[in-house]
């Protein structure tokens, strides 16, 4: 055994001792908020299919019912064959971006292959060495990696602390640099929400650029599912509004709603856009198919919020530590090994719940992350708070 192999074995051994060892588990969607793992069925409380569209068999049948020989490759092709700047950008891509711009009321939109590629591509393309990025301390890993790739100076302000953020804006804003404010709207591990109206006011006051990642809010919040920015009435104040298709949209890819100018710069400088094969036609066609349906799902959005609030109330009545104000409901436990054990006990009751541990969350804050979707009923979740209380 060479040095490299020994080192890897030791690394895995230490992770196991700390309760941080992870493994990939094959799952099979069953519909109605359920999944199959091995031969057992579970209620899925770990996924991000917030509206249940990804496991809606009737919707999939409708999508594939429109197969026609004349446009088989254009709409249902399994591969694009090239980057978008070569031959991989289709009329379906153009339709999607035009529809997104119209939906969000922006001049333009640009689609990337994933949220990770988008967040690791945009900020390095736009932020220069003399610039400053002020990012919420609990921003997602993809945002942090994008910021690390950027030449700009990164300052992470305390989570949701707009007083400190304003002090930093007052200190760093000036005519010789651009200052970016970077935040999620719904935070992926805590389920709490940013005050986008206050961030927009600070952005306008100090002449900053506001970058909002709405990955966990698009489809879920707002009258037409445009996210928390729509709900809080500040869509027109956000310079870069980021959304993903991989969660509530049940698809693949991500987008930035922005100005023509920003789009043109990104097409020419964002490496994660330029140097990758485009999404396959079938993925883009699905997004065009689902867009008008998403905007009309107001009742599902309202139910999802109500369901999450009901669950949070039940957890608190059991004396459990929870928080947030979204469809993401954390249950704070603290110790990683204890959290893993609690998740395992819940699976014995047919509930697929994952333990979220460092480095995904800070040390000492391991938690169960309950991720709800609109096809679940209150009855299905009624016993969950008591089961968690028994497990921890």
Domain match, 35 and 92 both: no
* Predicted pLDDT at 69: 66
- Same domain? 226 vs 343: no
103 and 37 in one domain?
no
Tokens of 273: 């856009």
Banded model confidence at residue 18, pLDDT cuts 50, 70, 90: confident
Residues 309 and 284 in one domain: no
pLDDT recorded at residue 9? 96
CB 373 within 8 A of CB 51: yes
What is the Cα–Cα distance from 290 to 108, expressed in whole angstroms? 20
C-beta of residue 184 within 8 angstroms of C-beta of residue 139: yes
Mean pLDDT for 154-178 is 96
Residue-level pLDDT at 68: 75
Using 50, 70 and 90 to split pLDDT, how confident is the model at 350?
A: very high
Inform me whether the pLDDT recorded for 199 exceeds 80.
yes
Cα 310 to Cα 34, 48, 221, 306, 331: the distances in Å are 20, 19, 17, 6, 14
3 state SS for 190-247 = CCCECCHHHHHHHHHHHCCEEEEECCCCCCCCCCCCCCHHHHCCCHHHCCEEEEECCC
Q: Examine residue 237 and state whether it is found in any structural domain, yes or no.
A: yes
Share of the chain above pLDDT 90, in %: 92
- Binned at pLDDT 50, 70 and 90, residue 100 comes out as very high
Which CATH number fits the domain that encloses residue 320? 3.90.1150.10
User: Is residue 56 one of the residues assigned to a domain?
Assistant: no
Domain encompassing residue 36: 18-51+298-391
Q: Does 237 lie in the same domain as 155?
A: yes
Catalytic residues: 48, 140, 184, 188, 213, 216, 247
Last residue of a domain, one of 260, 295, 330: 295
Question: Which of 359, 391, 362 is closest to 370 using CA atoms?
Answer: 391
**Token code pair at residue 92:** 């379906």
Residue ending a domain, among 295, 327, 347, is 295
In a domain, 63, yes or no: no
CB 77 within 8 A of CB 271: no
Instruction: Give Rg (Cα) of the chain.
Output: 22
Tell me, yes or no, whether 84 and 102 share the same domain. yes
Predicted local distance difference test score (pLDDT) of residue 32: 87
Share of the chain above pLDDT 70, in %: 100
Do 73 and 26 lie in a common domain? no
- How high is the pLDDT of residue 70? 76
The DSSP code for 107 is S
Domain boundary among 280, 295, 310: 295
> Based on the domain organization, do 110 and 146 belong to the same domain?
yes
| Of the candidates 368, 379, 387, 377, the residue with the CA atom closest to the CA atom of residue 329 | 368
Q: Taking residues 212-219, what's their average pLDDT? A: 98
Q: How far apart are CA 136 and CA 140, in angstroms?
A: 9
Q: What is the mean pLDDT of the chain?
A: 96
The pTM for the full model equals 0.95
Question: Judging by DSSP bridges, how do beta strands 153-157 and 132-136 pair with one another?
Answer: parallel
Give the domain CATH number at 111: 3.40.640.10
pLDDT of residue 129: 95
In this predicted model, what pLDDT tens digit does every residue of 313-335 receive, in sequence order? 999 999 999 999 999 999 999 99
Q: pLDDT for 45-78, tens place per residue?
A: 999 999 999 989 999 999 999 887 678 888 999 9
CA 82 from chain centre, in angstroms, equals 26
DSSP characters for 159-190? TT-HHHHHHHHHHH--TTS-EEEEEESB-TTT
In eight-state DSSP terms, residue 74 is H
Residue 31: which pLDDT band, with cuts at 50, 70 and 90? confident
Number of domains in the chain: 2
Q: Is residue 49 within 8 Å of 55, Cβ to Cβ?
A: yes
135 - beta bridge partners? 156, 182
pLDDT tens track for 262-292:
999 999 999 999 999 999 999 999 999 999 9
Contacts of 331 (CB under 8 A, 6+ apart): 315, 320, 321, 322, 367, 368, 370, 388, 392
Q: Is the pLDDT of residue 4 over 80?
A: yes
């Amino acid at each position: 055994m060479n040095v490299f192999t020994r080192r890897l074995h030791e690394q895995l051994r230490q992770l196991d001792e700390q309760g941080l060892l992870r493994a990939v588990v094959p799952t099979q969607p069953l519909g109605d908020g359920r999944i199959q793992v091995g031969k057992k069925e579970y209620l899925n409380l770990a996924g991000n299919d917030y509206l249940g569209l990804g496991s809606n068999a009737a919707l999939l049948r409708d999508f594939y019912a429109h197969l026609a020989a004349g446009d088989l490759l254009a709409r249902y092709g399994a591969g694009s064959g090239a980057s978008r700047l070569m031959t991989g950008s289709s009329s379906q891509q153009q339709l999607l971006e035009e529809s997104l711009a119209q939906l969000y009321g922006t001049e333009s939109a640009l689609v990337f292959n994933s949220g990770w590629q988008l967040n690791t591509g945009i900020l390095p393309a736009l932020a220069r060495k003399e610039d400053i990025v002020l990012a919420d301390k609990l921003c997602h890993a993809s945002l942090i990696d994008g910021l690390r790739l950027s030449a700009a100076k990164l300052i992470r302000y305390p989570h949701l602390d707009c007083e400190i953020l304003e002090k930093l804006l007052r200190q760093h804003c000036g005519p010789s640099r651009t200052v970016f404010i970077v935040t999620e709207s719904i935070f992926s591990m805590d389920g709490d929400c940013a005050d986008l109206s206050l961030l927009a006011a600070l952005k306008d006051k100090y002449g900053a650029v506001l970058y909002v990642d709405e990955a966990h809010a698009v489809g879920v919040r707002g009258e037409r599912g445009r996210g928390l920015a729509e709900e809080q009435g500040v869509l027109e104040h956000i310079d870069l509004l980021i959304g993903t298709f991989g969660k509530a949209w049940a698809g693949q890819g991500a987008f930035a709603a922005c100005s023509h100018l920003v789009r043109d710069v990104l097409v020419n400088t964002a490496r994660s856009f330029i140097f990758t094969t485009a999404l396959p036609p079938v993925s883009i066609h699905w997004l065009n198919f689902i867009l008008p349906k998403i905007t009309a799902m107001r009742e599902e959005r309202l139910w999802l919020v109500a369901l999450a609030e009901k669950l949070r109330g039940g957890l608190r009545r059991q004396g459990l530590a929870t928080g947030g104000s979204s469809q993401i409901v954390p249950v704070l436990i603290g110790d990683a090994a204890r959290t893993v054990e609690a998740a395992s006990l819940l699976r014995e009751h047919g509930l697929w719940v994952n333990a979220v541990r460092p480095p995904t969350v800070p040390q000492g804050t391991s938690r169960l992350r309950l991720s709800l979707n609109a096809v679940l009923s209150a009855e299905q979740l009624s016993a969950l708070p008591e089961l968690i209380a028994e497990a921890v």
